[in-house]
């Protein structure tokens, strides 16, 4: 008799314990989906630092570098952002243009390529040094030819 009650209590206890646990974790599989959107943002400025506000932007895919995949306009701060089609890996070209001024930036997308910026510009110090070298070259040329003329 005692053994019978012990068995009933044990079964009730197991059932109570089971009801206290989150049923979802055991009863249903979980399906999580995600999409990876890598947004590319460019900032277009003149070398004076002035933003290219209102500049027109054309984005070209690696497969068709002659027809724009997307066109748009930079905002007041020279910013433009877009989400590239990651199914087209390779080098994407982004051209920025305003009143005949502008440039092209090449952005690697997908694969093992890391997204890089279009930097590589020179610092003011480097530009100053380069300008000084060119000016010195011209002054040196002037001195050389003026010396030859006197002798």
Partner 1 sequence: MHIPDGILPLPVTGAGYAATAATTWYSIRKIKQKEDPRQDIPKASLLTAAFFVASWIHIPMPPTSVHMVLNGLLGTLLGYYAFPAILIGLFFQAVMFGHGGLTTLGLNAMIMGLPAIIAHHIFRMRKWGSGESRRKTSVFGFLAGVVAVGISVAMFVVILLTNLPAELNVVSEKAAIFTLAIAHIPVIFIEGTITALVTTFLRRVRPGILDGV
Q: Quote the CA–CA distance of 71 and 56 in Å, as a whole number.
A: 7
Is residue 151 close enough to count as binding partner 1 by CB under 8 A?
no
What are the two backbone dihedrals, phi and then psi, of residue 49, each rounded to the nearest 5 degrees?
A: 95, -5
Residue 136: which H helix or E strand, with range?
Answer: helix 124-150
Is residue 71 close enough to count as binding partner 1 by CB under 8 A?
yes
In sequence order, what are the beta bridge partners of 82? 40
Stretch that binds partner 1, among 15-23, 32-40, 111-119, 142-150 (CB under 8 A): 142-150
Is residue 123 close enough to count as binding partner 1 by CB under 8 A?
no
Q: Going residue by residue from 12 to 51, which x/- string records binding to partner 1, judged by CB under 8 A?
A: ----------------------------------xxx-x-
Minimum Å gap between C-beta 99 and partner 1 is 4
Is residue 91 close enough to count as binding partner 1 by CB under 8 A?
no
Q: How many residues bind partner 1 (CB under 8 A)?
A: 36
Q: Quote the CA–CA distance of 99 and 46 in Å, as a whole number.
A: 12
Of 83 and 139, CB closest to partner 1:
139
Between strands 40-43 and 79-82, the pairing is antiparallel
In sequence order, what are the beta bridge partners of 58? 71, 95
């Amino acid at each position: 008799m005692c053994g019978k009650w012990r068995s009933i209590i044990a079964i009730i206890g197991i059932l109570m314990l089971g009801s206290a646990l989150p049923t979802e974790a055991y009863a249903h599989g979980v399906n999580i989906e995600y999409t990876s959107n890598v947004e590319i943002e460019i900032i277009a400025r003149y070398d004076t630092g002035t933003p290219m506000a209102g500049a027109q932007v054309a984005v070209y895919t690696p497969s068709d570098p002659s027809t724009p995949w997307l066109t748009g306009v930079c905002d007041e701060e020279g910013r433009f952002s877009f989400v590239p089609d990651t199914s087209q890996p390779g080098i994407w070209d982004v051209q920025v243009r305003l009143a005949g001024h502008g440039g092209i930036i090449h952005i690697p997308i997908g694969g093992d390529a890391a997204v890089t910026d279009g930097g590589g510009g020179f610092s003011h110090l480097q530009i100053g040094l380069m300008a000084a070298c060119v000016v010195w070259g011209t002054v040196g040329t002037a001195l050389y030819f003026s010396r030859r003329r006197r002798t």
